[in-house]
Amino acid sequence: MQRMMSAMANNQTNSSQPPEQRYSQQLEQLTAMGFLNREANLQALIATFGDVNAAVERLLALGQLSMS
């Protein structure tokens, strides 16, 4: 029960942060993988609750990988 309450408190803390801060590490990972559109990356991370693998799949489906 205490773990559940702690997790809920952490979730509330995380949700009060702007998405750019909450997903900063994931944004860096996506950029390193060649996904250079920061706004598209952020939207994909928001939609996937920060799951980088799911965000990559979403970005690939939208054709967001930069080939430069």
**27 to each of 2, 5, 8, 9, 30, how far by Cα in Å?**
31, 28, 24, 24, 5
Write down the pLDDT at residue 15: 72
User: Is 15 strand, coil or helix?
Assistant: helix
Fold for the domain defined by 19-62: Helicase, Ruva Protein; domain 3 (1.10.8)
Indicate whether this model's pTM tops 0.85.
no
> CB under 8 Å to 55, separation ≥6 — which residues?
26, 30, 41, 44, 45, 47, 48
CA atoms within 13 A on the CB side of 59: 27
Write down the pLDDT at residue 65: 77
Write down the pLDDT at residue 6: 55
Q: pLDDT tens, 2-61?
A: 665 555 555 555 679 999 999 999 999 999 999 999 999 999 999 999 999 999 999 999
Domain-by-domain residue ranges, the chain? 19-62
Token digits for 20?
Answer: 């750019």
